Structure 1
Amino acid sequence: MSRTAIAPPDAVSCTPSRAARELDVKRAEFDLAVHLGRIRTVPDVAAGARRVPRAEIDRLRAQPGFPDSLRESVRAVGTAEGAALVDVPPARFTRLARLGLVVPVRFYLNRYRVVVWLYLAEELRQFAADRTNAFLLTGRTPEVLRSQLAAGVDLRPRNWRGRHLGFLLRQAEDPWQHAGALAGFLDPLQVAEIVKDPYERSHLNRFRPAPPAHCAPGTPAAHLVEKITTAADPDEIDWLRSDLRRTLDEARADQPAPRPAPKQAPPRPPERRSAPGEPDPDRPARGLLNRLRRRGA
């Protein structure tokens, strides 16, 4: 009985799933480590995905405290655990996050469609250890910050967008991918104002990032995710539009968007020539003309 041969692992690189297993981390932890630049990946041109060099796996496995040190470097916590790490009540922690003083690294929607923001435990410990932040953790919140909160400021979505955009731009391999990352944070109508050519828009859409949360299209959850991932502040929108225009100029110069081949007119049929003695179909018969002349005489 013949047996199918199993291909040996690639000696140069491996898939993200295999890399996560070899690094002894969960896939979500692995993805976040890539997002933060803790794990280097390279593009897989043939598969259109990314792979992890074997040398990168060896580097990480050789670090002191592996794998616990790697897991701890990407540990993400919610509001309650985050508040405990900086030793403040959860309500105060939420105010710090709304003011942009601590920046979320991920978010998800719970079963009640409530946005749950996650923060890096490592960054929170650094924030609490910085003595210049002591006045934010104890005592009364400064008036200027209280007035911002009263006005409804909430910088968590914007700060997450900025962080996620940085990740996408680091992964971009060419100007079209760069432009697609920028377009992914703008409303489609804004993109259409900048990219008027339909073939360019179609090509650009190939490089728009996928939503960070999996929701059925058209559902309330999908609309909520879209709201979080779309720029809302005028200065943020202006910056994205300006950078998109500049990057599109670079992309067009580097490689124009593909277009369908121009339609060619069908070839004209060859002109038919009458054989000797055969009446020419394009001329009236001479006999008929002669009879008409005699009748009119």
Structure 2
Amino acid sequence: MSGNTATHEVTPTARTAATRGRAPFSQSRAARELGLKRSEFDLAVHLGHIRTRPAEAGGGRHVDRAEVERLRGQEGFPEMLRQRVATVGTREGSAIMEVAAARFTRLARLGLLVPVTFHLNRYRAVVWRYLADELVEFAADAKNAPLLNRPLPETLRSQLDTGLDLRPRNWRGRHLGFLLRQAADPWEGAGVVASLLDPVQISEIVTDPYERSHLSRFRPPPPVHGAPGSPAAHLTERITTAQEPDEIDLLRRDLARAVREARAHRPAPRPASRHPDPHPGQDPHRQPGAHPHSVRHRRPPAPRHCDRPRPSENPRPSENPRRSHGLLSRLLRRAT
């Protein structure tokens, strides 16, 4: 299928001398230069028909002027490029395959025809669209003739009777492949996988809040259909989010592996401490240059001795030297 075509990056060596050094085109400008609608341009990028590269200053992807000139120089431009990205709905698709519209829908519900895009009509009904080239290829394959011209096998009819409809799941798988081929960073690839899971599933896999916050920066936004919170937006969310248990389990394993790889490539940023310790783990009483195990606890300083006698150490009145000296003088005078 053409949906598996890889998207290649344009390196500086691939640019021609005439276009080297000239600013690349934005995607909107490149679409106008190629005569494509924006939806056609986006599909051409997803299918690998138009090569893009990350913008040097961030904020999306750009298209080198050399790439635009390469496409313009191809034979049959621009009709051939438009034909590669031409999509059809059920009515046009059934006409291409020469089958009834009801059989076309059954084949699509069984997963034999994979939609490439979708939109909601004014009645909020899902309108699936398919690559016209792929339908031509399917109808031309002799192995598919019984599916087109004969009654469907009983096994397939029983699956349809149970309500099987693989169109949303097949679209998610194809859309995931489109986005992964453009992911230029492991965190971006993890964000692509996370975009198909609901927030509860993501929080169970990525338990670190800083990693979840970093991962959310790389989650591509889902297709926009209707105002936020509207019935159309809820329907779009259901289509773009994994529903079946086995599909959820597969994506959970893929997300866990993708986050491990992204973490090994570059850890998620974390806020810096407001008051970082210049010497973490160091004893604040440790002397500079001293080994941590050689630090001794200081004893509190001994009280200083005061030369002034305490009140309890004053001499008794009988031991007063001045009073003793006066008594001795009186005795000597009496003796004489």
Is the TM-score greater than 0.5? yes
Shift of 1:252: 1.0
TM-score under structure 2 length normalisation: 0.74
- The more displaced of 243-252 and 156-165 is 243-252
Shift of 1:53: 1.5
1:148 aligns with 2:159: yes
- Alignment deviations for residues 176-197 of structure 1 (CA, whole Å, 9 cap, x no partner): 0000000000111010001111
Task: Mark the runs of 5 or more structure 1 residues left unpaired by the alignment.
Answer: 1-8, 267-297
- Alignment deviations for residues 81-118 of structure 1 (CA, whole Å, 9 cap, x no partner): 00000001111100010000010000011111111000
1:95 aligns with 2:106: yes
Q: What is the aligned partner in structure 2 of residue 195 from structure 1?
A: 206
1:129 aligns with 2:137: no
Q: What is the aligned partner in structure 1 of residue 328 from structure 2?
A: none
In 2, the alpha carbon distance for the partners of 1:72 and 1:213 equals: 25
Cα RMSD for the two superposed structures: 1.7
Task: Mark the runs of 5 or more structure 2 residues left unpaired by the alignment.
Answer: 1-19, 278-336
* Counterpart residue type for residue 174 of structure 1: D
Is the radius of gyration larger for structure 1 or structure 2?
A: 2
- Alignment deviations for residues 152-178 of structure 1 (CA, whole Å, 9 cap, x no partner): 110000100010000110111111000
Q: Which of 76, 84, 91 is the aligned partner of 1:65?
A: 76
In 2, the alpha carbon distance for the partners of 1:85 and 1:10 equals: 46
In 2, the alpha carbon distance for the partners of 1:11 and 1:264 equals: 47
Change (3 A) 1:265 1:256: closer
1:176 aligns with 2:192: no
1:108, 1:213 within 8 Å by CA — same for their partners in 2? no
Q: What is the aligned partner in structure 2 of residue 218 from structure 1?
A: 229
Shift of 1:263: 2.9
TM-score under structure 1 length normalisation: 0.84
Q: Which of 42, 45, 53 is the aligned partner of 1:42?
A: 53
Q: Which of 117, 120, 123 is the aligned partner of 2:131?
A: 120
- Alignment deviations for residues 213-250 of structure 1 (CA, whole Å, 9 cap, x no partner): 34322111111111101111222111111111111111
Q: What is the aligned partner in structure 2 of residue 106 from structure 1?
A: 117
- Alignment deviations for residues 105-135 of structure 1 (CA, whole Å, 9 cap, x no partner): 0001111111100000010000000010000
1:230 aligns with 2:234: no
Shift of 1:10: 7.0
Q: What is the aligned partner in structure 1 of residue 64 from structure 2?
A: 53
Q: Which runs of 4+ in 1 moved over 4 A?
A: none
